A and B are shown apart, each in its own frame.
Chain A
């Protein structure tokens, strides 16, 4: 996919201008930016439902502005933010709609179509919703159904506008993992995302769409190291620090309260199972046996380890450990 000097907008009013980039097969491009900045406008232009004001978009050799809806449908599927209200359609019916471009004049589903529908529903984990009316499922399930519909279309390019909306945190991560897998199989994915931590950790490159309509294409690392988010979302210093904290925290295995450095030459230094381990304990003050009432010994690598400790060095215990540390450093209360 190639965008060449693209300007997009409504009624000749340009919302996004001068977009130039080329996407290689199997890449995941995340589009991030403030509300009303033109993320959706750009996505609509890419899928051909909004005509371009300037420039051109190519899907391989196909010029989107000159192509028929049918030609585009053959290689691209979309998930929009529009809420659909189909009458009397089951979730499976909705997913089946993704096969329409490949069926005959009467829309008969062949075996291959059914197989693709089944696979898409399995991937999105909505198999059990097959026979339930679309109108009766939850918003998150609706969203997953619509994404399954897009996957059933078996596209080369998958273009999605805020695919994670309405979904709970687990399904968001599952979706991103799935997208990664599809990308590995060769699907090119362009999606606008609100969750920066997802965008930063799963996308190969990010398109930053600024409020004034200019854009920038960067890798997630560049976005963080060049502090681009601050300007993009027009954040105050304090807000930006909070954003960074949450973004960085999410990058570390999903929580901010522990980390495990497996590369450490002393690892594992404790007798704690790895799933409970926390390298923060390297700074643990409680090796002083006076405090914890336990004892210590040196293990075979000559690393100090504790025994019968009153403060089990488990992850969840960390706040208590920190509290003790603070008491030791600054003294407890007004004493001393």
Chain B
């Protein structure tokens, strides 16, 4: 059994690594201007390359591809953490209204702060999205304390999402068009126009957060048998819970702030990885979830911008199209016998 498991792990990790590499090359190469593999290679290694091509790669496609890797991974891990926290496999930042909360705060910030000062910065938007994510998460936690029922919790999350969207819509209705141009683009959820500066911020934030999550993996492991058994093997339940929710919020806030709400990656990817790796052991699952989130997000983004080029779809349209059927499949599986 252990041997079968480790062989499976090696294969899955290798496959994910290959997929990420292939995805990167495809994301950089495919587009309005097709760029060959040799040119990508020489542009990245600083070899001889056409200046225009180099500019396309270094300023447009590479940052965008890297961002999908970083944020897609972050989003998947964020979903994984929420699922652990709520011991509920379909918890995710989008379903629980966390993305909508972040969006509301971003709208507030864009209209009242940016609108009046005329200045915008990614840090400001990240902080706004973070505040929104934390607020909604906190609200969901309060509800989940009162009710342990999964359906009630999800309903509450969806309602919170609606409320936040409603508030956002009010704001938009009374705001100047110039202020909300940004918001509209943002709330569509899109990786277009990402520059290297944002990539650096996101990289640092997500990497640090992910490392902290990895440090929690032993505690999360203990959580698999529920809270009281986790405590009985020496896990400080209260501290771990707040760490989990904080890290998860940072990750989803980060994604929402940079590229807007992206749906389903947080739910579908952790589920897929559990099924493929046939384990729920966090230390095995977390890196794989991150990598698979990257692949999923990168491929979705690639489809979003190439499928009906030059029209660009919003990323959630693509992730929903592939993610939602996975989630439906998962719910059916859960209810057909595995519940006992």
Contact = CB atoms under 8 A, between A and B. Distances in A.
Interface of A: 47-49, 68-74, 76-78, 80, 82, 84-90, 92-94, 97-98, 100-101, 103, 105-107, 130-131, 135, 149, 153
A69 B241 CA distance: 14
Contacts, number: 89
A48 B235 CA distance: 12
A76 B234 CA distance: 10
A39 B165 CA distance: 49
Contact of B225 (A90, A94, A105, A130): A94
B280 to A, nearest CB: 4
Contacts of B234: 68-74, 100-101
Contacts of B221: 97, 100, 107
Contact of B217 (A47, A80, A94, A106): A106
Given A69-B236, A131-B1, A84 B225 contact: yes
B278 interface: yes
Contacts of B217: 106-107
B224 A89 contact: yes
A71 B234 CA distance: 7
B279 interface: yes
Contact of B232 (A77, A89, A90): A77
B224 A135 contact: no
Interface string B136-176: 00000000000000000000000000000000000000000
B233 A73 contact: yes
Pick the most buried of B218, B225, B274: most chain A CB atoms within 10 A of its CB: B225
A250 to B, nearest CB: 32
Nearest to B214: A106
- The B interface is mostly helix, strand or loop, or mixed, namely loop
Contacts of B228: 49, 78, 80, 82
B73 interface: no
B200 interface: no
19 contacts: A47-B232, A48-B231, A69-B231, A69-B237, A77-B232, A80-B228, A80-B229, A82-B229, A84-B229, A87-B89, A87-B224, A87-B280, A90-B1, A97-B224, A100-B235, A101-B234, A107-B283, A135-B338, A153-B233
A80 B231 CA distance: 12
A153 B221 CA distance: 15
A204 to B, nearest CB: 24
Contacts of A130: 1
B1 A73 contact: no
Given A49-B231, A107-B221, A88 B226 contact: no
Contacts of A107: 217-218, 221, 283
A135 B73 CA distance: 29
A48 B279 CA distance: 30
Nearest to B235: A69
B280 A100 contact: no
Contacts of B9: none
Interface string B193-237: 000000000000000000000010110011011101101111111
Interface string B245-285: 00000000000000000000000000000100011110100
B340 interface: yes
Nearest to B277: A88
Q: Rank and list the top 9 A-B pairs by shortest CB-CB distance, nearest first.
A: A73-B234, A70-B234, A100-B233, A107-B218, A131-B1, A101-B234, A88-B280, A78-B232, A87-B280
Pick the most buried of B89, B222, B229, B278: most chain A CB atoms within 10 A of its CB: B229
B280 A105 contact: no
A93 B281 contact: yes
Nearest to A93: B281
B100 to A, nearest CB: 28
A98 B233 contact: yes
Contact of A88 (B215, B232, B274): B274
Interface in B107-149: none
A47 B227 CA distance: 13
A108 B132 CA distance: 38
A135 B89 CA distance: 16
Contacts of B236: 68-70
Interface string B310-331: 0000000000000000000000
Contacts of B1: 90, 92, 130-131
A188 B236 CA distance: 25
Given A49-B228, A88-B278, A107-B217, 12 more contacts: A49-B231, A49-B232, A82-B226, A86-B224, A87-B89, A97-B229, A100-B234, A131-B1, A135-B338, A149-B229, A153-B232, A153-B233
